[in-house]
């Protein structure tokens, strides 16, 4: 006999909807303002999550301003989400109401391709369902992010927040944390490696903390002197302001690994030249096209690689690693009504080091 839920699934009965308060950009470069969205009521495998905090990633700004092209409006950004389970569907196995959980940059993937089976869902061959500025796997239902009070997500794409982590500081781990943790692990950063983090923003300051916890000797390369004391406090051994051109001659060939988190156009060649023999520079920042010459790579057999967020299993591993090492993000908590100022300040590198929205301001 087919049970009632299976019958419902097969007939794909349209899921009931609920209305949720949010903040949206209605068109590219528009100021964000109050907006009401529809979310599906939780299905058998879904969790309905009351969002407590959502981090403000520079990718929110790139997309709300359509700097990467193809943005979908109205857009409700936000993919650094933490909250509590309000309701769990009848077939949910791993979570219960009241559990503290997180949602990162995507909310679904095909689950069948090689990338998904390897736990690299972010590289799903059919394309992941991004948390916002995308669609569900049906290719038409828009997804809306964490600048909102509630979200419905399949439990397979939800993370468990370990006890003991301060919740506001945990939100940015869901993007800034995993985006820096994943390449550090994948490319095998080890104790004693000389590692430079370029750009001390949301991603960069997480990169410093995580690389330090892995035992690397960290140098921060920042465009001005303003963040020197913070860099050392966050765990860096050394700091250099790249406005001074001598930094590039003095440090030539020094590093085993460079983590480039810069959000604005810059010259990759200048940084590649700081790598030693067989060194690796990983790009995680997504600026407009930036100059690159083959000579920068063939000299000393250097590698230039990229990395995009991380899979679900690895994100859980990162959260557990952060709990074990007492790592959270340094945050400035804001009400959602301050979101436009927060975007502008982030673009000016005027944030220490991540804005996090307290969604109590929208309830």
Interface contacts to Zn ion, rule CB under 5 A: 57, 59, 109-110, 113, 116, 124, 175
- How many beta carbons lie within 10 A of that of residue 164, not counting itself? 11
Binding segment for ligand NAP among 88-96, 145-153, 208-216, 285-293 (CB under 6 A)?
285-293
Alpha-carbon distances, residue 75 vs 60, 128, 161 (angstroms): 10, 17, 27
Could you say which of 131, 152, 219, 349 contacts ligand NAP (CB under 6 A)?
349
Question: Under the criterion CB under 6 A, does residue 145 sit at the interface with ligand NAP?
Answer: no
**Site map for ligand NAP, 72-111, x if CB under 6 A?**
----------------------------------------
Say if residues 245 and 223 touch (Cβ distance below 8 Å): no
DSSP code per residue over 105-132: SEEE--S-SHHHHTT-GGG-TT--EESS
Bridge partner list, 88: 47
Taking alpha carbons only, the member of 131, 174, 168 closest to residue 309 is 174
62 phi, psi to nearest 5 deg: -50, -45
* Closest distance of CB 183 from Zn ion, Å: 14
Residue nearer to ligand NAP on the CB measure, 51 or 221: 221
Q: Rounded distance, CA 181 to CA 219, Å?
A: 17
User: Would you give the binding string for ligand NAP spanning residues 227-266, x where CB under 6 A is met?
Assistant: x---------------------------------xxxx-x
Task: Select 30 or 110, whichever has its Cβ closest to Zn ion.
Answer: 110
* Residue 109 interacts with which of ligand NAP, Zn ion, none, CB < 5 to 8 Å by class: Zn ion
Cβ proximity to ligand NAP: between 81 and 284 the closer is: 284
Q: Which stretch binds ligand NAP (CB under 6 A): 86-94, 160-168, 210-218, 302-310?
A: 302-310
Separation between Cα atoms, residue 154 and residue 149, nearest integer Å: 17
**Cα separation of 332 and 339, whole Å?**
12
CB neighbours of residue 325 within 10 Å: 12
Between CA 287 and CA 263 the distance in angstroms is: 5
Considering the complex, what minimum distance in angstroms separates the CB of residue 44 from ligand NAP? 31
Tell me the per-residue interface mask from 52 to 71 with ligand NAP, x by CB under 6 A, - otherwise.
Answer: -----xxx--x---------
Q: Which of 285, 329, 331, 339 binds ligand NAP (CB under 6 A)?
A: 285
Q: How far apart are CA 280 and CA 299, in angstroms?
A: 12
280 interacts with ligand NAP by CB under 6 A: no
What is the rounded CA–CA span in Å between residue 154 and residue 47? 6
Contacts of 4 (CB under 8 A, 6+ apart): none
Closest CB to Zn ion among residues 59, 316: 59
- Report the DSSP beta bridge partners of residue 106: 130
Question: Which of 264, 324 has the CB closer to ligand NAP?
Answer: 264
Q: In the bound complex, which residue of the shown chain has the CB atom lying closest to ligand NAP?
A: 201
21 touches which of Zn ion, ligand NAP, none (CB within 5 to 8 A by kind)? none
Minimum CB distance to ligand NAP smaller for 165 or for 203: 203
User: Is residue 48 involved in binding ligand NAP (CB under 6 A)?
Assistant: no
End-to-end CA distance of the chain: 44
Question: Which positions from 166 through 205 interact with ligand NAP, judged by CB under 6 A?
Answer: 175-176, 179, 199-204
Q: Could you tell me how many residues make up the chain?
A: 363
Site residues (vs ligand NAP, CB under 6 A)? 57-59, 62, 175-176, 179, 199-204, 222-223, 227, 261-264, 266, 284-287, 307-309, 346, 349
């Amino acid at each position: 006999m087919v049970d009632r839920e299976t019958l419902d699934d097969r007939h794909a009965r349209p899921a009931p909807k609920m209305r949720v308060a949010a903040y949206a950009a209605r068109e590219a470069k528009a100021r964000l303002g109050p907006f009401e969205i529809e979310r599906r009521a939780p299905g058998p495998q879904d969790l309905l999550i009351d969002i407590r905090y959502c981090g403000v990633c520079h990718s929110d700004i790139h997309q709300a301003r359509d700097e990467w092209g193809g943005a979908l409006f109205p857009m409700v950004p936000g993919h650094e989400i933490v909250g509590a389970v309000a309701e769990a569907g009848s077939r949910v196995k791993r979570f219960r109401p009241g559990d503290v959980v997180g949602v990162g940059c995507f909310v679904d993937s095909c689950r069948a391709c090689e990338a998904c089976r390897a736990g690299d869902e972010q590289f799903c061959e059919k394309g992941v369902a991004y948390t916002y500025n995308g669609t569900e796997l049906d290719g038409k239902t828009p997804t809306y992010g964490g600048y909102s009070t509630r979200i419905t997500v399949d439990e397979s794409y939800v993370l468990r927040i370990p006890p003991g982590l301060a919740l506001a500081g945990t939100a940015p781990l869901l993007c800034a944390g995993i985006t820096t943790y994943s390449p550090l692990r994948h490319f095998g950063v080890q104790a004693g490696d000389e590692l430079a983090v370029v750009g001390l923003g949301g991603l960069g300051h997480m990169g410093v903390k995580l690389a330090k916890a892995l035992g690397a000797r960290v140098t921060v390369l920042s465009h001005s002197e303003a963040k020197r004391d913070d860099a050392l406090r966050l765990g860096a051994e050394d700091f250099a302001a790249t406005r001074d051109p001598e930094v590039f001659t003095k440090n030539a060939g020094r590093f085993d690994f460079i983590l480039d988190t810069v959000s604005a156009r810059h010259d990759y060649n200048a940084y590649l030249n700081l790598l030693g023999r067989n060194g690796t520079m990983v790009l995680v920042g997504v600026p407009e096209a930036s100059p690159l010459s083959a000579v920068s790579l063939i000299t000393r057999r250097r590698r230039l690689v990229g990395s995009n967020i991380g899979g679900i299993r690895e994100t859980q591993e990162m959260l557990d690693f952060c709990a074990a090492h007492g790592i959270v993000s340094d945050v400035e908590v804001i009400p959602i009504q301050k979101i436009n100022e927060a975007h502008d300040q982030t673009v000016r590198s005027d944030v220490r080091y991540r804005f996090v929205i307290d969604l109590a301001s929208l309830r």
